[in-house]
């Protein structure tokens, strides 16, 4: 049974939430999206890995890109979806299948938009950048990302969010020396040594700089830790993976240098890095979108693929029905009225 793109957008959201699509396992959902879009005569549909690209080609003066990722973080005992009052609960409801549902409904029900539209449904946004479907397209077929303006339907609670914070993930390694755990003093315990790394993280106070009028909020967190050889061996290595979120007044190089300073004396290896993007709301195309949709823009704290469009010279904003603080939580939900609101505002913008 395929997806119904003509019914209620909240029901469509529930349907795609219930197609589990943890990063790396988007195939079933990509299949469903492709199958639903391919019969539509006004769209050219392409499949690239588990990324689906659907475009109108009406010869309009402007082309806009509307993009959303198909993947979610690991399920946390929060599937299948369920409705409670005005809320739709479940893994991916906020981040960001409600946005994907709006895209799908618009793709089907606005056959003659006033601007040509490229809809991008892509894979692996929630994991290391090297697997990101949009990055792959940006490198292999950058023409697919080109446009006068781009909207990413990441969760913003139906408010336009400008720019995005950068993200840098490093492995900080504490060294040690193995010994039998009955004679620990003959060796040196790397896990105990890693306590110094955690001391730095526990003492961290976040910076909250204002950039182009919007306030950001940085972060520094351990996201993984691993160490240990055997149950009776003093471990000789402990690795803490640290994720730094940094505001767009810092370059990637500055962020890296900051981390290397914080963890001086430890081996620091960069495992994932994505630049921040300045708000960019002063660009004319961005101003037109802001005028059409309304509201007061605010800063985007999470990293989003806005930065990839920004790097290609395409002004881009985040705008979607999900609620950012709920993303990646066990109790993730989306407010159903926000899904309808986003659908209406974008429909107005594409048909004005």
- Residues annotated as catalytic are 71, 125
The nearer residue to a copy of itself, 187 or 209, going by C-beta atoms, is 187
The set of long-range contacts for 287-294, using a CB threshold of 8 Å and a minimum separation of 24, is 288/149, 289/149, 289/151, 289/160, 289/317, 289/349, 290/160, 290/317, 292/345, 292/348, 292/349, 292/352, 293/160, 293/319, 293/345, 293/346, 293/349, 294/345
- Host H or E run for residue 24: none
Q: Any idea what DSSP says for residue 95?
A: I
- Supply the minimum distance, in Å, between the C-beta of residue 29 and a copy of itself: 18
| Residue 95 touching a copy of itself (CB under 8 A) | yes
Instruction: State yes or no: residue 141 binds a copy of itself (CB under 8 A).
Output: no
Q: Which is nearer to a copy of itself, 146 or 328 (CB)?
A: 328
Q: Report the residue number, 8 or 20, with the smaller CB distance to a copy of itself.
A: 20
Closest distance between a copy of itself and the C-beta of residue 297, in Å? Answer: 18
Stretch near a copy of itself under the rule CB under 8 A, chosen from 29-37, 57-65, 73-81, 308-316: 73-81
Of 96-104, 220-228, 284-292, 306-314, which part binds a copy of itself (CB under 8 A)? 220-228
**Residue 56 engages a copy of itself in binding (rule: CB under 8 A):** no
Which residues inside 291-350 make contact with a copy of itself, applying CB under 8 A?
301-303, 324-325, 327-330
CB within 8 Å of 202: residues ≥ 6 apart: none
Closest Cα partner for 48 from 34, 59, 66? Answer: 34
Residue 277: its H or E element: none
The answer to the question of residue 202 lying near a copy of itself (CB under 8 A) is: yes
Q: How far is the CB of 59 from a copy of itself (least distance, A)?
A: 39
Closer residue to a copy of itself in complex, CB, 260/328? 328
Q: Tell whether residue 41 is a contact of a copy of itself (CB under 8 A).
A: no
Q: Tokens at residue 329, please? A: 């939580």
State in angstroms the smallest separation of the CB of 149 from a copy of itself: 24
Termini Cα distance of the chain? 34
Pattern 244-283, a copy of itself, x by CB under 8 A: -x--------------------------x-----------
Binding part of the chain for a copy of itself, among 59-67, 85-93, 101-109, 238-246 by CB under 8 A, reads 238-246
Q: Residue 138's closest CA among 48, 64, 43?
A: 48
Decide: 153 and 99 in contact? Cβ < 8 Å: yes
Applying CB under 8 A, does 228 fall inside the site for a copy of itself?
yes
Q: In angstroms, rounded to a whole number, what is the distance separating the alpha carbons of residues 167 and 28?
A: 29
Closest CA to 16 of 103, 76, 77, 74: 103
By CB under 8 A, tell whether 187 contacts a copy of itself: yes
Given 118, 132, 156, 189, the residue binding a copy of itself (CB under 8 A): 189
Instruction: Residue 190: name the closest of 211, 174, 210, 172 by CA.
Output: 174
Using DSSP, state whether 244 is helix, strand or coil: strand
Q: What residues make contact with a copy of itself under the rule CB under 8 A?
A: 23, 73-74, 76, 95, 126-128, 165, 167, 169, 177-187, 189, 191-192, 194-195, 198-199, 201-202, 206, 217, 219, 221-235, 238, 240-241, 243, 245, 272, 301-303, 324-325, 327-330
């Amino acid at each position: 049974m395929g997806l119904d793109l003509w019914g209620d957008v909240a029901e469509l959201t529930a349907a795609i939430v219930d197609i589990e699509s943890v990063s790396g396992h988007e195939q079933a959902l990509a299949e469903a999206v492709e199958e639903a879009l391919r019969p539509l005569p006004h769209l050219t549909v392409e499949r690239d890995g588990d990324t689906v690209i659907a475009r109108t080609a009406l010869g309009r003066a402007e082309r806009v890109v509307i993009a959303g990722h198909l993947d979610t973080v690991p399920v946390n005992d929060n599937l299948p979806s369920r409705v409670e009052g005005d809320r739709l609960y479940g893994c991916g409801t906020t981040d960001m299948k409600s946005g994907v549902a709006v895209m799908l409904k618009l793709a089907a029900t606005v056959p003659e938009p006033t601007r040509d539209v490229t809809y991008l449904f892509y894979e692996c946004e929630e994991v290391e950048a090297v697997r990101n479907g949009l990055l792959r397209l940006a490198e292999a077929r950058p023409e697919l990302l080109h446009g006068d303006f781009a909207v990413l339907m990441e969760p913003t609670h139906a408010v336009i969010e400008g720019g995005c914070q950068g993200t840098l993930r490093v492995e900080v390694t504490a060294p040690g020396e193995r010994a039998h755990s009955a004679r620990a003093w003959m060796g040196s315990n790397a896990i105990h040594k890693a306590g110094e790394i955690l001391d730095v993280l526990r003492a961290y106070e976040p910076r909250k700089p204002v950039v182009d009028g919007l306030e950001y909020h940085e972060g520094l967190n351990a996201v993984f830790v691993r160490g240990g050889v055997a149950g009776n061996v003093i471990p000789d290595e402990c690795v803490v993976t640290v994720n730094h979120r940094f505001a767009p007044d810092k370059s990637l190089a500055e962020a890296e240098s900051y981390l290397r300073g914080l963890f001086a004396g430890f081996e620091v290896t960069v495992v994932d890095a994505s630049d921040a993007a300045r708000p960019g709301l002063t660009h004319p195309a961005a101003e037109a979108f802001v005028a059409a949709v309304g509201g007061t823009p605010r800063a985007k704290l999470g990293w989003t693929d806005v930065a990839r469009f920004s790097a290609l010279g395409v002004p881009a904003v985040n705008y979607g029905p999900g609620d950012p603080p709920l993303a990646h939580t066990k109790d993730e939900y989306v407010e159903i009225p926000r899904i309808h609101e986003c659908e209406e505002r974008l429909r107005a913008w594409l048909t004005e």
